[in-house]
Amino acid sequence: MIKPLQQQPEAFAEELVARGRGRAAFVRGEDGRLRASAPWLAPMAEALDAAPDGDGHEGIFLARAPTSGALLGAFLHRLARGQGQGGLRHVPYPTLDAFCRDGLRLAAGMGRKNALAGLWWSGGKGLIARLPDGTARDPRARATLYREYGAFVSSLRGCYVTAEDSGTGPDDMARVFERTRFVTCIPPEAGGSGNPSASTAAGVVCGIEAALEAGGTPSLAGRTVAMQGVGHVGEPMIDLLLERGVSRIVASEIDGDRARAVAARHADAPVEIRTCAPDDTSILFEAVDVLSPNALGGVLGPETLPKVRAGIVCGGANNPLVDEDRDAETLRRAGVVYVPDYVVNRMGIVRCADEQFGSPVPDPEVLRHLDAEHPHGIRQVVLRLLHDARERGVSTTRAARDLADRALAEPHPLFPGRARAIVDTLDAEGWAQSGP
């Protein structure tokens, strides 16, 4: 790892101020390489280009939050399909390298998720590196931080549209909305779609049903399911699974209060909720039909995969595999059907994709993704990629990526090239040298 990637994110943010205006930009040039906004950042541009998570990203914009000093980021994947769209994650990062790799990986995942869903968005991801000083817990400081992130998004002129994600809630999105129009998942009282977690849960269950169908099992009735996490996605999943007649659900949760509350609500159902330590991965090794990771990513890798006993892995967590290609191939060779996260956890972005056009109830543009016969619906996409993977003898992530990458190259039908033109404008006008 090279400097400045070795630094803590807040230290890098301070260096940005010391060397200029508190901003840095990396834009992919006509030669296909990332170009840094300042000479001292050139080694960082080369490292980002060579990173395993790099995947043709067209723009990376970083800035220091003026009040708190937190590092803010916006990562843009390939922009043919339109503006980069993806949620705003607010979590701690030990190094700038970890911060950037997460942004690159998540933006690419959002790009493929949007493409497979048939949405005219490209991939984007927003990040705030959580500070160790408790800023995130202080209501006034937190509100200021999210307003400043909103101003950061506005400075990007719409090439990135933000939304809710891990560590960010509806109240935070309302603060972002105070400073930018380029935001979705805002509270319903402000005209938005609100928290999309229940819809995400429905999409994951739809994906599980399709995977079972592809293997010759007609329904979830009588099946057993293990779930890691019973948060905003996992908890509504329990209700949906019970409605479909599963015979047993066993789940783990690190929040003891939440675990007890969910267990009490399902006291008369075949549901077991275990409170566990953050590093307890034993739920992944249950002898069940379906394993559904619904917490943080990176839980399935060389140390855990040999002990997985489920026949299907399908969950709502982003990036559950440590290494997408290697670990998906390990699952394939073990005879485990893996449904990539970005195929089934799309309903969050689906719910907010058309917010600017109003919100009919029920919304047919949302429901079509759960329609069993719609060509871009979750069931049809899962069946298509599982068939393709089986016919070609490749992992499901390879099949899903190939399917998505064909769609990623399709230009936006109304505004082809517009998002990239905005990035080029920011670059030409010296965005990084014109900070607040």
CB 409 within 8 A of CB 77: no
CB 152 within 8 A of CB 63: yes
The helix/strand/coil state of 34 is strand
Distance CA 181, CA 191 (A): 12
Q: How far is CA 226 from the centre of its chain?
A: 22
Exposed e or buried b for every residue in 272-299, given b needs 16+ CB within 10 A? ebeebeeeebebbebebbbbbbbbbbbb
If you search the block for the tokens 């783990």, which residue do you land on?
252
Active site residues: 125
Element (DSSP H or E) covering residue 261: helix 256-265
Give, in degrees to the nearest 5, the angle at Cα 126 between 122 and 130: 165
Element (DSSP H or E) covering residue 71: strand 71-76
Q: What share of the chain is helix, strand, coil (3-state, %, to 5)?
A: 45, 15, 40
CB 173 within 8 A of CB 182: no
What the block records as the tokens of 306 is 């040999």
The count of other CB atoms within 10 Å of the CB of residue 365 is 15
CB 83 within 8 A of CB 124: yes
What the block records as the tokens of 267 is 């006291």
Sign of CA dihedral 199, 204, 207, 209: negative
How far is CA 142 from each of CA 85, 131, 156, 176, 198, rounded to the nearest angstrom? 23, 11, 22, 11, 26
Question: Across the chain, which distance is largest between two alpha carbons, in Å?
Answer: 64
The helix/strand/coil state of 86 is coil
